[in-house]
Amino acid sequence: MVLRRFLRDSGHLVRPAIVLLAAMGLFLVVRSAVIPKAFGQYGHYRPGALDAIRARPISFAGQDTCVACHDEQAKVRAAGKHAHVACEACHGPLAKHADDPTANVPKRPEVANLCRRCHEKDAAKPQGFPQVATVEHSAGMACNSCHQPHNPHL
Amino acid sequence: MDISRRDLFTMGGKLLVLASVGASLEQITGAAPPTDAYRMAEHWWGMIIDVDKCIGCGNCARACSRENNVPSGYFRTWVERYEIEEGRPPHVESPNGALDGFPPSKREDVKSFYVPKLCNQCADSPCVQVCPVGATFVSPDGVVLVDETYCLGCRYCVQACPYGCRYLHPDKNTVDKCTLCYHRITKGLTTACCESCPTGARQLVDFKDPKDPVHEFLRHNKVQVLKPYMATQAKVYYKNLDGAVR
């Protein structure tokens, strides 16, 4: 009885209060529906983004992978000046090949451009780096007709 | 039994309040568990760059664009050639981001060198501060990343980056940038650019790994970050960087 009278007397306050509460409730429901569960776990962002970025595919298999199968080339290279040049620095991304070597046989690098990009003489290169004016140096012959790419010493 | 309109409203109100309390409780407790062996808290990634070793071959830029499908005409990493004549502003060029290397320099009479550039993975990054929707952030292991599904494409961050390391992806219309090959480094591989750098001019480093060579490197060399006055806490350290480089 008391409650009922209270409600009747203060109805003009209770009704807007209920509407306000309902609106706030609705806001919270919608908010929790659209914001991913873990949002804010590490900071003001969606932690799921980390997993999504991590799941992107790889194109460069990495040095160690190549060496595991291509023992011969690895040995030759390790003995020469190209020892610290990674396989894929010259051969390009070969993760697909490493996954299935016979289905994805890689093309051999195009020697003319390959060597020149690293070894063309240029004043901006560090002075200690071996560089040649390729046109005069090779006289039109392919670099690998004299140098062996994996161990460039003659 | 009949229900008055008032009763209906009161009941509805109570229900809504209950539902929302429930929903927010779920939000607090529903954190996803860690999924695998890689622990973000144990890493703090960055890079060291030895300018004196860079030969300007552009291997890094090529490797990056192939590893990350960078659209043509845009760069996540690139190489600049500086040519500085005494008393003059430096001449800087980066033809196609060095994707095809550099044509030989004609100038023997000037100071010249190459500088590789990439996202500086700032710990206190302006790009993160300006993002209105939490689409770009510094990960717990110190890499500045973009959440493609949240990015609105408003380009505030593109403008905010002092180093020009962000662009709007022309097809996705979301912002794109260097991820420090986050998909590789979290699997124990190095970045595509470091993998293909022939001289070791750039090296991925983990500041939280006590055995990482970065600690020796920082102790024995004079290093600099780009635009230190921006106070971005950049984590890409350059050795023997010329003062003209911006």
pLDDT in tens, B90-121: 999 999 999 999 998 878 889 999 999 999 99
Instruction: Indicate whether B28 pLDDT > 50.
Output: no
In CATH, what class is B7-57+120-246? alpha beta
pLDDT per position as a tens digit, A115-144: 999 999 999 999 999 999 999 998 889 999
Report the 3 state secondary structure along B109-169. CCEEEEEEEECCCCCCCHHHHHCCCCCEEECCCCCEEECCCCCCCCCHHHHHCCCCCEEEC
Q: Enumerate the residues of chain B whose CB falls inside 8 A of the CB of residue A35.
A: 27
| Residue A121 C-alpha, separation from nearest chain B C-alpha, in angstroms | 7
Query: Which residues between 43 and 62 in chain A have a beta carbon less than 8 angstroms from any beta carbon of chain B?
Result: 43-60, 62
- Give the residue from chain A lying closest to B83, CA to CA: A124
Q: Is A18 on the interface with B (CB under 8 A)?
A: yes
Q: What is the mean pLDDT of residues A73-83?
A: 94
ipTM of the prediction: 0.84
Residue A77 dihedral angles phi and psi, to the nearest 5°: -65, -40
Q: B27–A32: do the CB atoms touch at under 8 Å?
A: yes
Contact assessment for residue B174 and residue A72, using Cβ atoms and an 8 Å cutoff: no
Lookup: tokens for A6: 């209270």
- Give the residue from chain B lying closest to A59, CA to CA: B67
pLDDT tier, B235 (very low <50, low <70, confident <90, very high otherwise): very high
- Give me the residue from A24, A37, A44 closest to B137, CB to CB: A44
- Give me the residue from A7, A37, A133 closest to B30, CB to CB: A37
Q: Which residues pair with B91 in a beta bridge?
A: B83
Q: Enumerate the residues of chain B whose CB falls inside 8 A of the CB of residue A22.
A: 12-13, 16
pLDDT at B21: 62
- Give me the residue from B20, B67, B200 closest to A84, CB to CB: B200
- Give the residue from chain A lying closest to B61, CA to CA: A89
Taking the model in full, what pTM does it have? Answer: 0.88
Q: Lowest-confidence range among B7-16, B39-48, B204-213?
A: B7-16
List, in order, residues 6 or more apart from B155 with CB less than 8 Å away: B168, B175
Q: Enumerate the residues of chain A whose CB falls inside 8 A of the CB of residue B149.
A: 46, 49, 52
pLDDT per position as a tens digit, B148-176: 999 999 999 999 999 999 999 999 999 99
Q: Is A68 on the interface with B (CB under 8 A)?
A: no
pLDDT per position as a tens digit, B61-79: 999 999 999 999 999 999 9
Q: What is the mean pLDDT of residues B7-20?
A: 72
Domain boundaries, chain B: 7-57+120-246
Q: Enumerate the residues of chain A whose CB falls inside 8 A of the CB of residue B196.
A: 60, 86, 88-89
pLDDT at A11: 82
Q: How far is CA A4 from its chain centroid?
A: 67
**DSSP for A13-71, written as a single string:** HHHHHHHHHHHHHHHHHHHHHHS-TTTTSSSSS-THHHHHHHTSPPS---HHHHHHH-H
Query: Which residues between 149 and 188 in chain B have a beta carbon less than 8 angstroms from any beta carbon of chain A?
Result: 149-150, 179, 182-184, 186-187
- Give me the residue from B19, B30, B113 closest to A38, CB to CB: B30
Q: Enumerate the residues of chain B whose CB falls inside 8 A of the CB of residue A97.
A: none
Q: Which of B97, B110, B22, B29 is nearest to B59 (CA)?
A: B97
Contact assessment for residue A46 and residue A39, using Cβ atoms and an 8 Å cutoff: yes
Instruction: Indicate whether B30 pLDDT > 50.
Output: no
Taken in order B217, B223, B227, B233, is the CA torsion positive or negative?
Answer: positive
Alpha carbon distance A49, B133 (integer Å): 13
Alpha carbon distance B175, B192 (integer Å): 20
Query: Which residues between 64 and 93 in chain B have a beta carbon less than 8 angstroms from any beta carbon of chain A?
Result: 66-68, 81-83
Alpha carbon distance B140, A40 (integer Å): 12
- For chain B, what is the mean pLDDT? 90
Domain boundaries, chain A: 2-55, 63-145
Q: B195–A38: do the CB atoms touch at under 8 Å?
A: no
